[in-house]
Amino acid sequence: MLATAESVTCDFCEARLSVQHTGGTSFTQALDELRERTRKLEKTLGVRTVDKSLRRLDRSWRRRRKGFMMKGNDGVLRVPTRAIASFYSICGPAAGILFFGLLAGAADSEDVAFCVLGGVGFSVAGLLAGWNLRRKADGYHEAHKGYIALRRKKLRERKAENARPMRTVPEDG
């Protein structure tokens, strides 16, 4: 049992011990002593541990953030921006007008329909891409604001908890 145990409690002094396994040997280390040393170190260094609810919130946000991200031509995931959405919304129709203007002037009367369809196609594709990116960017920014507000609230609550004086038992006198 000791060969696979991670912790044990001493029957004599009731100290909790961590069982360490290295190679073919096992040894114990007092957990409470380690915990107290860690607390003293944190206090000395001013280190604050992040509570589980904050870590859970951060993990949740990282997963949610991935759903908003878009892959660039270089394969790198990026957060959608309103500027990129505006670029697509302006450049798509501009490319459509350019396509129509350049090809319509050089084309025969039979090819004008192709030029019109191509120009309209570029314009509509640009507008749809811009609209979709804008929707994604707005959704991301709203979700990010909500995440930041919730994180700040949790940090304020934690700060308030740490600022409260500890209750003491009055001495009999």
* pLDDT string in tens for the chain (173-residue length): 455 667 777 665 666 777 777 776 666 666 667 777 777 777 776 555 556 788 889 999 999 998 888 887 888 888 888 888 888 888 888 887 787 777 666 656 666 677 777 778 878 888 888 888 899 999 999 999 999 999 999 888 877 776 655 444 444 44
Are residues 93 and 126 both part of a single domain?
A: yes
Are residues 128 and 159 both part of a single domain?
A: yes
- pTM across the whole model: 0.54
Provide the domain count of the chain.
2
Give the span between the Cα atoms of 135 and 131, in whole angstroms. Answer: 6
Are residues 136 and 156 both part of a single domain?
A: yes
Residue pair 119/94 in contact by the 8 Å Cβ criterion: no
Are residues 44 and 62 both part of a single domain?
A: no
Whether residue 151 is contained in a domain is answered as yes
Whether residue 83 is contained in a domain is answered as yes
Are residues 88 and 10 both part of a single domain?
A: no
Give the span between the Cα atoms of 100 and 111, in whole angstroms. Answer: 11
Strand partners, 30: 17
Q: What pLDDT, on the 0 to 100 scale, is given for residue 169?
A: 46
Which residues lie below 8 Å from residue 158, measured CB to CB, with a gap of 6+?
Answer: 51, 54
Q: What pLDDT, on the 0 to 100 scale, is given for residue 31?
A: 65
Q: What 8-state DSSP symbol labels residue 34? A: H
Whether residue 168 is contained in a domain is answered as no
Q: What pLDDT, on the 0 to 100 scale, is given for residue 157?
A: 82
Are residues 123 and 93 both part of a single domain?
A: yes
Whether residue 173 is contained in a domain is answered as no
Q: What pLDDT, on the 0 to 100 scale, is given for residue 70?
A: 84
Are residues 62 and 44 both part of a single domain?
A: no
Are residues 73 and 23 both part of a single domain?
A: no
Are residues 38 and 73 both part of a single domain?
A: no
Whether residue 170 is contained in a domain is answered as no
Are residues 63 and 41 both part of a single domain?
A: no
Are residues 31 and 101 both part of a single domain?
A: no
Task: Domain of residue 115: give its range.
Answer: 50-163
Whether residue 140 is contained in a domain is answered as yes
